[in-house]
Chain A
Amino acid sequence: MCTTCGCGSSHKHEHEHEHEHEHEHEHSHDQARIIEVEQNIFSKNNRYAALNRATLLRYKIAAFNLVSSPGSGKTSLLTQTIKALQTKQTISVIEGDQQTDNDAERIRAAGAMAVQINTGKGCHLDAHTVGHALEQFPLDTTDLLFIENVGNLVCPAAFDLGELAKVVVLSVTEGDDKPLKYPDMFRVAKLMLINKIDLLPYVDFDTDLTIDYARRINPEIEVILISAKTGEGFELWQQFLTNKIVDRKSTELI
């Protein structure tokens, strides 16, 4: 037995011998030790998010991360928003989907610049990918950036992309208890858009109850009732965006 470290085999140690001697083989110590780490596992994503946030601040761009389940009408809301605002603001859009660039095409057809990110098997966008997408836009002329996340009410909640705020879109054709079923998303969102309100007469969706549920989790969440189809609620939504753009433009760089 090795008398230096107590392990069972012979191996090299520094001896205070004047002579050299042969050993049968070398091996590394396999002594276990515990090291303290205390590291948030989101820290890698958060580091990239901080870089994106700094870039967006430098170019004074107001960025919103749009999150929802599939089919809530995010892309239709965006195309209508672009049509309504494009004479006043320059809008860019990052589109996240597992496959196809159909949504980016819809955005371009509406008149904004769009970069499509296909996540493949991935169920959410991450800050690193978004950072590379940002490189493809003329940031110095962009006022407003929308990041349309993968349609998924779970995973995108966990990942900061460097946005100013997450905006959760919930349509009235979904259950009115969605905020309780997917509380993580409603906790991190600053604004809830209740979409497709033109369909309210045809569905059993209790708007007040949904708002109550969302505010149990996030008392400060703002709410706008909206319809991408009829344009109802767009005035409030545009006002929300315009206020954020004005705030961002007046932000002094430190």
Chain B
Amino acid sequence: MHELSLAEDMLDMIVQRSKEDGFERVSKVWLEVGKLSHVEAEAMEFCFDAVMAGSLVEGAVLEIIASEGMGQCLHCKTTSRIEYLYDPCTYCGKFGLDITQGDQVRIKSLEVH
């Protein structure tokens, strides 16, 4: 469950940002989780509340924005939407896609006070 250590890193990033932007409390976190990324949204939700307890993010709502997986075929160069890393190209049916979207996990924005 590496989401636990990633939630801890998220908290560090938010604390750092609070010093730069001068906020005292966070009430909502928008997190983009790519469908092909290393992060499982449910596991992140599970860890989030526990990690944020006692911090300036305690009680904040975690809003997960799922981003679709997209890959460009190495053979026909077409970009298609894929569910899994081992999916073939939707157009030519060959395997081997260069992932162009959906492998990222990013804090998009924060609602702060």
Cβ contacts under 8 Å, B105 to chain A: 40-42
Tally of B interface residues using CB under 8 Å:
33
CB distance from A127 to the nearest CB of B (A): 11
A38 in contact with B106 (CB, 8 Å): yes
Contact with B along A4-37 (1 / 0, CB 8 A): 0000000000000000000000001111111111
CB distance from A129 to the nearest CB of B (A): 11
A34 in contact with B38 (CB, 8 Å): no
| B85 on interface, CB distance cutoff 8 Å | yes
Cβ contacts under 8 Å, A39 to chain B: 13, 106-107
A44 in contact with B111 (CB, 8 Å): no
Q: Which residue on B lies nearest to A36, using beta carbons?
A: B109
The total number of A-B Cβ pairs within 8 Å is 94
A44 in contact with B12 (CB, 8 Å): yes
Q: Given contacts A30-B113, A124-B2, are A184 and B96 in contact (CB under 8 A)?
A: no
Chain A interface mostly: mixed
Contact of B17 among A33, A37, A42, A123 (CB under 8 A): A37
Contact with A along B19-47 (1 / 0, CB 8 A): 00101100100010000001100000000
Separation of A217 and B38 alpha carbons in the complex (Å): 15
B96 in contact with A215 (CB, 8 Å): yes
Tally of A interface residues using CB under 8 Å:
37
CB distance from B43 to the nearest CB of A (A): 10
Q: Given contacts A41-B10, A216-B86, A219-B95, are A32 and B109 in contact (CB under 8 A)?
A: no
Cβ contacts under 8 Å, B113 to chain A: 29-33
| A192 on interface, CB distance cutoff 8 Å | no
Cβ contacts under 8 Å, B110 to chain A: 34-35, 37
Cβ contacts under 8 Å, A124 to chain B: 2, 5
A32 in contact with B38 (CB, 8 Å): no
Separation of A39 and B109 alpha carbons in the complex (Å): 9
Cβ contacts under 8 Å, A224 to chain B: none
A154 in contact with B107 (CB, 8 Å): no
B1 in contact with A123 (CB, 8 Å): yes
Separation of A71 and B8 alpha carbons in the complex (Å): 29
A41 in contact with B9 (CB, 8 Å): yes
Cβ contacts A to B, 20 pairs, < 8 Å: A30-B113, A32-B111, A34-B111, A34-B112, A37-B17, A37-B109, A38-B106, A38-B107, A40-B106, A41-B9, A41-B106, A44-B12, A122-B5, A123-B2, A180-B86, A215-B96, A216-B86, A216-B95, A219-B74, A219-B95
Lowest 8 CB-CB distances: which A-B pairs, in order?
A158-B38, A155-B2, A219-B96, A216-B95, A183-B85, A44-B9, A37-B107, A216-B86
A35-B110, A38-B109, A45-B9 known, 18 other contacts, Cβ within 8 Å: A30-B113, A31-B113, A33-B111, A37-B17, A38-B106, A39-B13, A39-B107, A40-B104, A41-B106, A42-B9, A123-B1, A154-B2, A155-B1, A158-B6, A159-B2, A216-B86, A217-B95, A219-B74
